[in-house]
Structure 1
Amino acid sequence: MQLQTSQHFGQRQSLVVTAQLQRAICLLQMTNTDLQGFIEKEAEENPFLDMKVREKLTPEARRELAASGPSGGVKAPASDFDFLEMRVAARPPSLYAHVSDQFNVMFPDPRERAMAEVFLEALEPSGWLGDELDLLAQRAGLDPEAADAFLARVQQVEPAGLFARSLAECLELQARDKGWLSAEFAALLANLDKLAAADLKGLSRACSCTPETLRTQMKRLRSLDPKPGAQFDAPTDNQRSPDLIVRKSAEGWLVDLNRSTLPTVVIDDASARQMNRTEAREFVSDRLSSARWLRRAIEHRNKTSLQIGAEIARRQTAFLEHGPAHIRPMILRDVAEAVGVHESTVSRVTSGLMMATPQGTFPLKTFFSAALGTSDDDANGSAAAVRHRIQQLVRDEPADAPLSDDAIARIITSEGTELARRTVAKYRDMLKIKSSFQRRREALLNGAA
């Protein structure tokens, strides 16, 4: 066997993912807030790099604008400001602070105030007592009988229902405060298991009352709060400011970047020129190059985001005009081909950005929805529009006759979008809508059926 060597020449293309390319890809999916943090971190390592964000209104100007009302004549200054921040109400006191202030008045004696603090430390965010009474009695130096009496004093704080040890006790405290604690209501509290099972006949027998009286007591029970402490420490809905803003003008729908939160890269060329005269030229050149690249990358990110947002607005004009029920079917490829970028670029840009529209503020992902089969060329046959229609049907259904999945499927199919029962069930689960049986039982408990 004879062996010999040979050489072959050819060309091929390959993409090398450099560190800068990786950073540029990350920039595409950053929100304005994330971008601010990224630039701040880069500025810590680069003496020639800084960040600038447009100033918001001063507190005085914000109060003046709020006082003018929706149609007031006060004109905002040239700089942008955050309407969301302007409308954020003052944060209420915490549950601990609220109860502590009452204890300062209820227990002027230092020793009793110290015992009350033991109970306050065991108060859970729901408003219930988190530890057993025997354990609290030991911590406070009380015997069991004195602990019961002291708990009754502690439970007099407002709102009623705090420091309860069970659901029944929590509701009982509130009913007593309202003067509702009749024999029928007490019997209802003693049979909450029957109430959960919607056993109205069994409840009537247990409460020794007529169905009409039982419904009155149930209506009162529903008005009570099973977790009275949750209203103090409930998580706030901190929806961040949008990255893109859509508004209507004489020329049509316009999309712009939210300049009030969009950071701008600032390069200190004067300091760089001064340091460039010293022996640190290599360092200066490297840092300047990095800062200029970052500025170009952010400009490209902003341009790409604006192009994609504008294309989404162009395709979803019906939504902007009429609401979620008119979202058109749209996939990533549609926008990518129109803008002239890869689908992955559209996916990254729309993964985290928010857009403010006349219909509300939505993630860009909201506007992408697969098309469903339709009996005609109706453009509203998107999955998102169908989900919205399901919500409408359930919201408007008679309480005593909730629509089954089959009935919903028939209604939507008759409107032009072919829909199967299993698809309705899938969308209903996605929307966290209960089944018709569960909705029927809730209506029965609420006295609407």
Structure 2
Amino acid sequence: MDFSLNLAQEQKLIMTQQMQLSVKLLQMSSYDLQEYIENEFQENPILEVEYENKKQEEQKDIIEYKELVKYLEFDNYSSQNYKNYNEHDEISPFNFISSEKSLKEYLYEQVSELNEDDYTKAICEYIIESLDSKGYLSLSIEDIAKELKINIDTFNDALKIVQNFEPDGIGARNLKECLKIQMRKKHFLDDNICKIVDEHLQDLSENKYQNIAKALNITVKEAQTYGDKIKTLEPKPSRGFFTGEEVKYVSPDAYIRKVDDKYYIEMNESLMPRLSINSLYKDILNQEKDDVATEFVKEKINSAMFLIKSIEQRKSTIYKVIEKIIELQYDFFEFGKEYLKPMTLKQIAESLNMHESTISRAIKDKYIYTNKGTIKLKSLFTTGVYSLKEGEDISVFNIKKEMKRLIEKEDKNKPLSDQVICEKLSENGMNISRRTVAKYRDELQIKSSSKRKRF
């Protein structure tokens, strides 16, 4: 055992707080960054935040609304009144004509049309308020009756009224009752179909018609016919109705505009407020009377300046990444998703002399607006399989598309197994394993060959 001193040289990369902040800002979505800036504004008195663009948009909305009122002065509401309307404008004239109707509103309208006393209508309304997001009455009947201080028979009478409302299946206690209500209304409820719903829904979901046929003592084809009828029913009665939650629209981080034969990037400046330094605090530095105040101001100015620079750096990095993506995926922007080429983070990182993690952060939760719609940047990154025929990589999208085409054209009496699909893809130069075929099939939500078989 001995104690000694040694000198050694080594290199270490230590991330400062500023570097950590820069990385953090890069991977933030526009919404998260707005929240972060707002918090910084509350904590840093040096920071000035201007929402000029948003004010201009609000003013623009007011002007467009005034213009819209002119349309309403006419009695004729034909399409010629809207011939000058641009589909890319922020406010559509049709938004002022109609509104979405929720499921509860639709059911309340049917209650108001009932030829029943107010007492019964009140119970029906209570049932409507007790429905879950699927349109089912998942609460216990006994508990509801006890809470309303009514007997079970009275409650069941009101429940039957609600279950006769549209959409079909509303007010059911479970999936089986929901299906039976719909079958009764469609007039194809018999003993066999009831038994399938009560005892063989699992077999039905897996297309095990042989099991159903054996249990019901009918042919496999008859069992399949019953199954086809059941599969036309709606397991979620509330589907298609407004749920009360507004759809969250994504604001793109950049717009891709095509001018002649070239694509240009226009960063969405309206997402971010304009940041600057409050000039009042500069006087404190010039006066230099209070050392404590001066030090405080210097610290806050440095913090504000670094935030401004980091946001500019973030914008610059995202711009460079989008620019490289457009270069590599030019055919996609021209012709659509079928021409999406395999592209990896490593490929972009090497071409821009950046680290893969930087590219990953730059595309996280970022969107671009193109002539193909609003696209998530991450969706443009796909792996590929080398094709011996074509001599280049084939994107996973095209492999899935070919798989879907093969399955759509197959003989439904003898569906293609995953191994056969694998062999047919290999013939077309798409060299993937049977396990990969099964994985892609699951992602496409296509059942296995045994469950696709028709009798």
TM-superposed CA distance for 1:359, in Å, is: 3.6
TM-superposed CA distance for 1:373, in Å, is: 2.9
Residues of 1 paired with 2:314 and 2:241: CA distance? 41
Matched, 1:344 2:357: yes
SS at structure 2 position matched to 1:362: strand
Retained in 1: the 8 A contact 2:209–2:220? no
Retained in 1: the 8 A contact 2:267–2:319? yes
Retained in 2: the 8 A contact 1:333–1:343? yes
SS at structure 1 position matched to 2:266: strand
1:49 equivalent in structure 2: 48
Alpha-carbon distance change, 189 to 15 in structure 1, aligned in 2, over 3 angstroms: same
Residues of 2 paired with 1:246 and 1:396: CA distance? 37
Residues of 2 paired with 1:304 and 1:418: CA distance? 36
Residues of 1 paired with 2:257 and 2:409: CA distance? 31
Letter in 2 for 1:33: Y
Residues of 2 paired with 1:45 and 1:229: CA distance? 46
Retained in 2: the 8 A contact 1:255–1:306? yes
Alpha-carbon distance change, 224 to 297 in structure 1, aligned in 2, over 3 angstroms: same
1:327 equivalent in structure 2: 340
2:187 equivalent in structure 1: 181
TM-superposed CA distance for 1:321, in Å, is: 2.7
Matched, 1:61 2:64: yes
Task: Among all aligned residue pairs of Structure 1 and Structure 2, give the percentage whose two residues are the same amino acid.
Answer: 27
1:26 equivalent in structure 2: 24
Letter in 2 for 1:50: V
Residues of 1 paired with 2:29 and 2:361: CA distance? 11
Retained in 2: the 8 A contact 1:331–1:368? yes
Aligned residues: 430
SS at structure 1 position matched to 2:385: coil
Alpha-carbon distance change, 59 to 164 in structure 1, aligned in 2, over 3 angstroms: farther
Alpha-carbon distance change, 295 to 388 in structure 1, aligned in 2, over 3 angstroms: farther
2:263 equivalent in structure 1: 253
1:266 equivalent in structure 2: 275
Structure 2 unaligned runs (5+)?
72-77
Matched, 1:425 2:438: yes
Q: What is the aligned counterpart of 2:309 among 296, 302, 307?
A: 296
Alpha-carbon distance change, 375 to 64 in structure 1, aligned in 2, over 3 angstroms: farther
Alpha-carbon distance change, 251 to 68 in structure 1, aligned in 2, over 3 angstroms: farther
Task: Give TM-score, length-normalised by structure 2.
Answer: 0.78
TM-superposed CA distance for 1:130, in Å, is: 1.4
Q: What is the aligned counterpart of 1:36 among 25, 34, 37?
A: 34
Retained in 2: the 8 A contact 1:325–1:385? yes
Residues of 1 paired with 2:321 and 2:130: CA distance? 52
Structure 1 unaligned runs (5+)?
none
Alpha-carbon distance change, 201 to 293 in structure 1, aligned in 2, over 3 angstroms: closer
SS at structure 1 position matched to 2:386: coil
Alpha-carbon distance change, 417 to 168 in structure 1, aligned in 2, over 3 angstroms: closer
- 50-59 or 407-416, which deviates more: 50-59
Residues of 2 paired with 1:403 and 1:237: CA distance? 40
TM-superposed CA distance for 1:213, in Å, is: 12
Retained in 2: the 8 A contact 1:330–1:370? yes
TM-superposed CA distance for 1:132, in Å, is: 3.4
Letter in 2 for 1:335: I
Question: 1:120-146 CA deviation, whole Å, 9 max, x = no partner?
Answer: 343222222213333333333333333
Letter in 2 for 1:181: H
SS at structure 2 position matched to 1:228: coil
Residues of 2 paired with 1:385 and 1:150: CA distance? 54
SS at structure 2 position matched to 1:49: strand
TM-superposed CA distance for 1:20, in Å, is: 1.2
Letter in 1 for 2:422: A
Residues of 2 paired with 1:400 and 1:88: CA distance? 52
Residues of 2 paired with 1:425 and 1:12: CA distance? 49
Question: 1:303-350 CA deviation, whole Å, 9 max, x = no partner?
Answer: 110101111111112222333333323222221121122222112112
Residues of 2 paired with 1:147 and 1:74: CA distance? 53
Retained in 1: the 8 A contact 2:209–2:223? no
Q: Compute the RMSD of aligned alpha carbons.
A: 4.2
SS at structure 1 position matched to 2:168: coil
Taking the TM superposition and a 5 Å limit, the aligned residue runs for 1:45-444 are 45-47=43-45, 48-52=47-51, 53-54=53-54, 55-56=56-57, 57-58=60-61, 61=64, 72-73=83-84, 92-104=100-112, 106=114, 109=117, 111-177=119-185, 180-182=186-188, 185=190, 187-192=192-197, 193-194=199-200, 196=204, 198-199=208-209, 215=225, 221-232=230-241, 238-260=248-270, 262-273=271-282, 279=290, 280-395=293-408, 397=410, 399-440=412-453, 444=454
TM-superposed CA distance for 1:361, in Å, is: 3.4
TM-superposed CA distance for 1:58, in Å, is: 0.8
